[in-house]
Amino acid sequence: MNVLQGIITEIKSHEGLSLVKVKANDFVFSSIVLDTPETAGYLKLDNVVKIIFKETEVIISTALNPNISIQNQLLCRVESIKKGVILSQVTLMAGKQTIESIITTNACEQLALHENDNVMALIKTNEVSLSAHD
């Protein structure tokens, strides 16, 4: 599980859904949640929250400027790769932030990933959970 700390910078709500922007280090994450400031106390501008997404939801692209619908795109350096038979765990560094990705070993080989390669980590807006900071 990737857990980052951030500050809410923008909330756009409509009919129970909210698109929330959360700034963590230098990157602004987009998250979509089934809550609004009326239903969830933590949805407040400038509130500190945790940004949570699973390793298996982190997509890796070697194209650094992909024309793609995914809103969360972080430029990363490949720190290390742990290869399994089916799955591989790729540890990425976005600045000083570690992000773990689990992709298939096939994908890892297809992309010919190596340590220190520059890649984009992609996380869909609806895969990012928010949690009130405690």
Partner 1 sequence: MIQFSAYKMLQTADGELPLDVNFTIEKGKFIAVYGNSGAGKTTILRILGGLTAAEQVNIKVDDVTWDDAEKKLHLAVQKRSIGFVFQDFALFPNLTVRENLEFALSKGDSKEIVSELIDLMELQSLQDNKPERLSGGQKQRVALARAIVRRPKILLLDEPLSALDDAMRFKLQDYILKIHQKYELTTIMISHSIAEIFKLSDHVLVIDKGRITKEGTPENVFSEQKISSKFQLTGEIISIKKSDIVYVVQVSSGNTIVKVIATEEEVANYTIGQKVLVASKAFNPIIQILS
Task: Summarize as ranges the residues that interact with partner 1 (CB under 8 A).
Answer: 1, 31-35, 40-42, 52, 54-56, 82-89, 100, 102, 126-127, 129-132
Residue with Cβ nearer partner 1 (25 or 126): 126
**Shortest distance in whole angstroms from residue 104 CB to partner 1:** 10
**Shortest distance in whole angstroms from residue 65 CB to partner 1:** 26
Phi-psi region of 98 (alpha: psi -120 to 50; beta: other; left: phi over 0): beta
Residue with Cβ nearer partner 1 (34 or 64): 34
- For the chain, report the end-to-end CA distance as a whole number of angstroms: 17
**Shortest distance in whole angstroms from residue 62 CB to partner 1:** 21
With CA atoms as reference, report the closest residue to 22 among 36, 43, 39: 43
Give CA–CA dist 61/25, Å, rounded. Answer: 21
Residue with Cβ nearer partner 1 (64 or 93): 93
With CA atoms as reference, report the closest residue to 129 among 45, 58, 30: 30
